[in-house]
């Protein structure tokens, strides 16, 4: 495709993450404060507005969309949005990231609506540690959701774990064994400074440490055949054929120089970086006085204005005011 979304650093943007709600049925400590105040529902983009946005963005070069939140399955009737998006010409890849709590009920409807990619977040298999990390109950429901996704036909089913020093070390082996046993792709995401908690670099359990631990305590890994050093996830497979493992080393190996992502928040703000300090309102071009040319220009401008990258690893880093749940992870 002839993309119109190339920034001043030569990066082509084809990947859009859409938050469909900031609400969530968990309160993960690394993501949001316990006393969070959610947006008014009337502020959220409607399904029609979201689809309209994607219809304008697709001819500019967006061909990959991921629905997220907050918890996207808390948005009523999400399969309807999936069906609407699946029909947008030019969109070739539609995914969802969920905490899995409501997935058992919705997996089949989502698959039937045209969703094919699914990532389920799960940091632990211990009910006690699940409660500590998420400040809620629900591990059994997440596990039911994972099995329902497999049964519905999702392949692969990816399981995401945030990698936090002092938390993740005892989880690596049980999660890896669980993933191998159930044919899931496990992915670790280095803990980033985008939650409500105080973050410091020492709190990240780094990619190379996870890899060493898996090789030492689970089984040897080799780089996957489709390993792309520019992609966010470093992909490995078990040498014995027991599945794949991915690591998103956002802190120890930032991938800003090959970043291809834009983000649309639930209330219609466009962000060109997870850590962006400014955002552009696009709801006015969708709701108040719909104008596709103005919307397309706002998207192009937002890409043109993109900075070189976050500066997590320097003293210049400034944490955005929004926490992860309100941006869309």
DSSP sequence for 97-152:
EE-STTHHHHHHHHHHHT--EEEEE---S-HHHHHHHHSS--HHHHHHHHHHHHHH
Nearer to ligand SF4, 205 or 238 (CB): 205
Distance CA 10, CA 29 (A): 36
Pick what 251 binds: ligand SAM, ligand SF4, none; C-beta below 5 to 8 Å, kind-dependent: none
CB-nearer residue toward ligand SF4: 52 or 325: 325
Residues 5, 16, 31, 211: which binds ligand SAM (CB under 6 A)? Answer: 31
Of the pair 115, 192, the CB lying nearest ligand SAM is at: 192
DSSP labels, 165-211: TTTSHHHHHHHHHHHHHHT-EEEEEE--TTSSS---GGGB--HHHHH
Contacted by 320, from ligand SF4, ligand SAM, none: CB < 5 to 8 Å by type: none
HSE at residue 121, side-chain half, CA atoms within 13 A, is: 26
If binding is defined by CB under 6 A, does position 98 make contact with ligand SAM?
A: yes
Distance of CA 20 to the CA centre of its chain: 12
* The only residue of 21, 121, 168, 260 in contact with ligand SAM, by rule CB under 6 A: 121
d(CA 250, CA 166): 18
316 Cβ partners below 8 Å, 6+ apart?
A: none
329 sits near ligand SAM (criterion: CB under 6 A): yes
Nearest to 164 by CA among 210, 130, 196: 210
Q: Which of 15, 29, 124, 160 binds ligand SAM (CB under 6 A)?
A: 160
Q: Which is nearer to ligand SAM, 98 or 168 (CB)?
A: 98
Neighbours of 225 (CB within 10 A): 7
Residues in region 35-94 near ligand SAM by CB under 6 A? 68-69, 71
Nearer to ligand SAM, 57 or 96 (CB): 96
Task: Quickly count: other Cβ atoms within 10 Å of residue 8's Cβ.
Answer: 11
Residue 27: name its binding partner from ligand SAM, ligand SF4, none (Cβ under 5 to 8 Å by kind): ligand SF4
Q: Which of residues 161-220 bind ligand SAM (CB under 6 A)?
A: 162, 189, 191-192, 194-195
Which of the listed partners (ligand SF4, ligand SAM, none) does 206 bind, with a CB threshold of 5 to 8 Å by partner kind? none
CB of 232 to ligand SAM, least distance (A): 12
Q: Which is nearer to ligand SF4, 15 or 99 (CB)?
A: 99
**CA-closest candidate to residue 162, choices 26, 21, 23, 321:** 26
User: Rounded CA gap, 82 and 196, in Å?
Assistant: 30
Note whether 324 binds ligand SAM by CB under 6 A: yes
Q: Which does 96 bind (CB under 5 to 8 A by kind): ligand SAM, ligand SF4, none?
A: none
| Burial (Cβ within 10 Å: 0-12, 13-18, ≥19) of residue 182 | middle
Chain residues binding ligand SAM by CB under 6 A are: 24, 30-31, 68-69, 71, 97-99, 121, 160, 162, 189, 191-192, 194-195, 324-325, 329
């Amino acid at each position: 495709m002839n993309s119109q979304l190339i920034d001043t650093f030569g990066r082509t943007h084809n990947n859009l993450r859409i938050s469909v709600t900031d609400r969530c049925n968990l309160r993960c400590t690394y993501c949001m404060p316990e006393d969070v105040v959610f947006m008014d529902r009337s502020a959220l983009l409607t399904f029609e507005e979201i689809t309209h946005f994607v219809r304008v963005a697709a001819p500019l070069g967006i061909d990959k969309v991921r629905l997220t939140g907050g918890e996207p399955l808390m948005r009523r009737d999400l399969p309807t949005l999936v069906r609407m998006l699946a029909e947008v010409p030019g969109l070739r890849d539609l995914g969802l990231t969920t905490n899995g709590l409501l997935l058992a009920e919705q997996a089949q409807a989502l698959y039937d609506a045209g969703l094919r990619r699914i990532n389920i977040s799960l940091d632990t298999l211990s009910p006690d540690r699940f409660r500590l990390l998420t400040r809620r109950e629900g591990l059994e429901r997440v596990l039911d959701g994972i099995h329902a996704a497999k049964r519905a036909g999702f392949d692969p089913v990816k399981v995401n774990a945030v990698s936090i020093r002092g938390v993740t070390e005892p989880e690596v082996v049980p999660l890896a064994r669980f993933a191998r046993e159930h044919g899931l792709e496990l992915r670790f995401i280095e803990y980033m400074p985008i939650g409500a908690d105080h973050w410091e670099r020492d709190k990240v359990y780094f990619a190379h440490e996870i890899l060493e631990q898996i090789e030492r305590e689970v089984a040897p890994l080799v780089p996957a055949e489709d390993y792309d050093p520019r992609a966010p996830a470093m992909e490995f497979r078990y040498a014995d054929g027991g599945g794949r493992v991915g690591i998103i080393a956002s802190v120890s190996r930032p991938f800003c120089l090959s970043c291809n992502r834009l983000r649309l928040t639930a209330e219609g703000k466009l962000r060109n970086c997870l850590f962006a300090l400014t955002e552009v309102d696009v709801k006015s071009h969708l709701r108040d006085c719909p104008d596709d040319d103005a919307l397309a220009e706002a998207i192009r401008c937002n890409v043109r204005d993109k900075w070189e990258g976050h500066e997590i690893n320097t003293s210049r880093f400034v944490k955005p005011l929004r926490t992860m749940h309100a941006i869309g992870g």
